[in-house]
Amino acid sequence: MDIHHTRFVSSHTKLSQCPKADRPEYAFIGRSNVGKSTLINMICNNKSLAKTSSQPGKTQTINYFDVDETWYLVDLPGYGYARIAKRTRGHWKEMIEEYMTKRPNLQCAFLLIDSCIPPQQKDIDFANWMGEHKIPFVLVFTKNDKKKSYKNSSFYEDFKKSFLAYWSEMPTNFVTSSKLKEGRQEILDLIGQINLQYFEYETLNPDE
């Protein structure tokens, strides 16, 4: 699958405000400063689509992007940023959990993991939470082109060891570099496969 046109649609703080659930959507989430906006722009081949910032905690709403008028890419606030007020972090947590557990057309969550740093318990905890709530997800390891990632060349095996302390096997995962566009086509192909299944089901079950 490839992408031809993308555009920002809207931002929301409540599930009830989100666009009509009439197409498949894919949520991108990770700790603050994991490179989420940069990855989204790389996947969509649009450097100005999602706003990037050197300041963690920039994304504070549920942000919708239309892709080829076929599916939504959803940019969710990051987690684990200590400098944000506790009350605000609590609001973000409620907003994310409501969206992810109640949005009927959410097909898959992409959990971003920073390959430049050792495994973080907050990432494992979030994966565990999605598992407990039966939310389909894949892992996306970011920043594979950074110098720090080479120094942490065992990041995948280290994360796998931490992850498998809770899980019986690793989920589908991708190693990405926004600079080199590494992992882009693999992620798009997965989304394309899920979209195909979604629309086939909708065609066979139009009244549901």
Domains along the chain with CATH numbers: 6-152 (3.40.50.300)
Q: How far is CA 164 from the centre of its chain?
A: 21
Per-residue confidence in pLDDT tens, the chain, 208 aa: 999 999 999 999 999 999 999 999 999 999 988 999 999 999 999 999 988 765 555 678 999 999 999 999 999 988 765 555 566 667 778 999 999 999 999 999 999 999 999 999 999 999 999 999 999 999 999 998 886 665 667 899 999 999 999 999 999 999 999 999 999 999 999 999 999 999 998 887 876 6
Do β-strands 6-12 and 62-67 pair in parallel, antiparallel, or remain unpaired?
Answer: antiparallel
Report field, pTM of the whole predicted structure over 0.75 = yes
pLDDT of residue 125: 95
Give me the half-sphere count of Cα atoms (radius 13 Å) on the Cβ side of residue 104.
Answer: 7
Burial category of 77 from C-beta neighbours within 10 Å (exposed 0-12, middle 13-18, buried 19 and up): buried
| pLDDT for residue 91 | 79
Q: How far apart are CA 73 and CA 76, in angstroms?
A: 10
In angstroms, how far is the first alpha carbon of the chain from the final one? 27
CA distances from 3 to 42, 72, 198 (A): 11, 12, 18
Q: What is the pLDDT of residue 208?
A: 67
Q: CA torsion angle for 93, 97, 100, 101 (degrees, to 10)?
A: 180
pLDDT for 151 equals 62
Please state the separation of Cα 161 from the chain's center in Å: 22
Burial group, residue 75, by CB count within 10 angstroms (0-12, 13-18, 19+): buried
